[in-house]
Amino acid sequence: MSTSVLVINCGSSSIKYALISEQAKDRIYGLAENLGSADARIKGVTIGGQPLELSIPHADHEQALETILSRLSQYKPQAIGHRVVHGGTLTKAELLTDTIVERIREATPLAPLHNPAHLVGIDATMRLFPELPQVAVFDTAFHQTMPAHAYRYAVPKFLYTEHNVRRYGFHGTSHAYVSERGSELAGNLKQGGWLTAHLGNGSSTCAIWNGQSVDTSMGLTPLEGVVMGTRSGDVDPSLHSFLAANLGWDVYKIDRMLNKESGLLGLSDLSNDMRTLIEASEQGNEDATLAIEVFCYRLAKSLAAISCGLPRIDGLIFTGGIGENSAYIREKTLSYLPHFGFNLNKTQNNELKRGTEGRIDQGHGPQIWVIPTDEEARIAQETRQVAAQTSLLSKKSELAVEPA
C-alpha cells in the first residue's frame, strides 16, 4: 500500500474514505457518520477485510479525519484525492492550491449543499497533511466537453456570461469510469457511442462519444433530469410561480420539496428506496407501482433525448445501486425504448447479482452492459496522475535552478 491514494468524500455530516492501492487491488474503506452528534461513529473495513466500528462521540470533520488517518498511518498515502461535486468551469482534476480552493468556494452557490462540506474536509486534511499532494476531482469536470448547444439554457445570455448559469452535469467520475470500463470490456468501442445510466439515490444519464461526455441529464444543479430517490428531476419551471402564487410558498420551501420530498418518495408517499417500492408494488401498492413506472419511463425518455448527442448508439451501461441490482428496472426501462434496437437477454439480465459486471444483450443490436461503478478508484487514478505530473514539474524546476 506504499503507493496508495487516500480518497475522501466529505458530506455535511459524514465522511466516506478509501485508501486504494496502485492497481485498486487492495482497499481499506469506511464511513464516518452522524458527525457533530453524540452518535458519531466510524464504520469500515480494515485491510484484512475485518469489520471496524468505532464510537467518536461529538467528533467534527477534523477530529474524525484525524482518527481515520491515525488508523491508516502505517500505510502512509502518497496523495489525497477529494471528491468535489461542483468545480464550476474547472475542466479537470486539479492540485489543491489556494487558487483552486478559492475556485471551489466560488462554485458554492451552484452546489450549496455539497461544496461547503468538501471545503471543511479539504481544510482539515491540508492542516493535518501539509506535506502530501492533495487533488480535487470534480463530478462536473467530465461534462466540460459538452458542446454549447447541450449546456446552454434558453434564458437571457447575461445569465450565462455574468452569472455562469448553464448546464454542468454531475456523477462525472461514475459516467467516465463505467464508459471506460465498458470500452475495455467491449474491446472495440473506444471510438463509438455509449449511453450510461447511473441509478442510485441520485440518478443521471450521460451520452459519451469517443470517450467524451456530449450530453447529460443533470444541469446547473443535480436536480435536473430523471426521477431520483427524493428529487423530482425535470418539472415545469413555472411550478415555482404556481406554488408561490397559490400556496404562498417561498423559494426555500419549494427547493426543499423538490430536493427532499419528491422523486420516488413523493410519488409513492412511501419510500425513496427502490427495493421497498418493488416489494410494495408486488404486494399491490398502486402508488409504488406508479412511482416505478414514472421512474422507468422518464429514464427511458432521458436516454432517448440525450442520444441526440450521439452519431450512433453502440451500447448502454447500467450502474449505481438500482442499475447494478435491479433486473426488473433494467427490463422495464428498455421496454420503453423498443425503437432503439436493444435486444435484452432476459436470462442474463436476471442472473446478474450485485457487484458483478456482465453483458445482457443477445449479441445483436447495441450492446447492453451492467458495470458496477467505482468512483473511488477513478478518483484515486486521477489523483495519482495529477500528483505524478506535479512531482515531475517540481523535479524539472529543481533541475532548472541548479547552478550552471
Residue 3 contacts residue 79 (beta carbons within 8 Å): no
- Judged by CB under 6 A, the residue of 28, 93, 195, 322 near ligand ADP is 322
Residue type, 117: A
Measured distance CA(217)–CA(207) in Å, rounded = 9
Nearer residue to ligand ADP within complex by CB, 222 or 309? 222
The 203-242 contact track toward ligand ADP, x by CB under 6 A, reads --------------------------x-------------
Cβ neighbours for 100, distance < 8 A, ≥ 6 positions apart? 90, 94, 136
Catalytic residue IDs: 139
Q: Distance (Å, rounded) from C-alpha 281 to C-alpha 79?
A: 47
The interface with ligand ADP within residues 111-150 (CB under 6 A) comprises none
Helices marked H in 154-285: 157-161, 172-186, 239-247, 251-260, 263-268, 274-282
Stretch that binds ligand ADP, among 144-152, 194-202, 287-295, 306-314 (CB under 6 A): 194-202
State the Cα angle at 208 between 202 and 210, rounded to 5°: 155
Cβ–Cβ under 8 Å, residues 384 and 5: yes
Count of residues that bind ligand ADP according to CB under 6 A: 13
Exactly one of 183, 268, 325, 367 binds ligand ADP (CB under 6 A); which one?
325
Whose Cβ is closer to ligand ADP: residue 180's or residue 273's?
A: 273
Which of the ranges 101-109, 147-155, 238-246, 273-281 carries the binding residues for ligand ADP, by CB under 6 A?
A: 273-281
Residue set of the binding site for substrate: 83
Cell of 324: 447494478
Tell me the Cα Rg of the chain: 22
Interface mask (CB under 6 A) for ligand ADP, residues 62-81, using x and -? --------------------
Specify the residue, 211 or 358, whose C-beta has the smaller distance to ligand ADP. 358
The residues of the shown chain that bind ligand ADP, judged by CB under 6 A, are: 200-202, 229, 273-275, 278, 320-322, 325-326
